[in-house]
Amino acid sequence: NAGVTQTPKFQVLKTGQSMTLQCAQDMNHNSMYWYRQDPGMGLRLIYYSASEGTTDKGEVPNGYNVSRLNKREFSLRLESAAPSQTSVYFCASSGDAGYEQYFGPGTRLTVT
């Protein structure tokens, strides 16, 4: 039982490049989330998916897109990376929206 997995673990991009962060969970959870974590700040929600087939914007969605591929997988895409997107990105899942969330190990992204 792996819980929530994320790939890649580390990534360096140049300004303007694109990439997709992958997330998968094996807990049969309905809801999935993408956060970013920056020093001195709380976790900030980028997008979430309350259930398969739905996605909604969170607090900081600009510059990102998401896809809920199926119940297990939720990907985050940066179309044109900017230095302001340098951060640690976490994927999380929960049984339903409002219940405790379980987090992946994170992706450390640097945009130069």
Partner 1 sequence: EDQVTQSPEALRLQEGESSSLNCSYTVSGLRGLFWYRQDPGKGPEFLFTLYSAGEEKEKERLKATLTKKESFLHITAPKPEDSATYLCAVQVDSNYQLIWGAGTKLIIKP
Q: Note the residues at the interface with partner 1 (CB under 8 A).
A: 4, 31, 40-45, 48, 50, 56, 58-59, 90, 92, 97-106
First to last CA, the chain: 36
17 vs 30, which CB is nearer to partner 1?
30
What is the C-alpha separation between 68 and 48, in angstroms, rounded?
9
63 vs 105, which CB is nearer to partner 1?
105
Sign of the CA dihedral with 46 first, then 51, 55, and 58 last: negative
Q: Give the nearest distance from C-beta 76 to partner 1 in angstroms.
A: 15
Neighbours of 98 (CB within 10 A): 9
- Give the pairing of strands 87-94 and 107-111: antiparallel
Q: Give the nearest distance from C-beta 80 to partner 1 in angstroms.
A: 26
Q: Give the nearest distance from C-beta 91 to partner 1 in angstroms.
A: 8
Cα R_g (the chain), whole angstroms: 13
Q: Give the nearest distance from C-beta 26 to partner 1 in angstroms.
A: 15
Written as six digits, the tokens of 3 are 């819980």
71 vs 108, which CB is nearer to partner 1?
108
13 vs 36, which CB is nearer to partner 1?
36
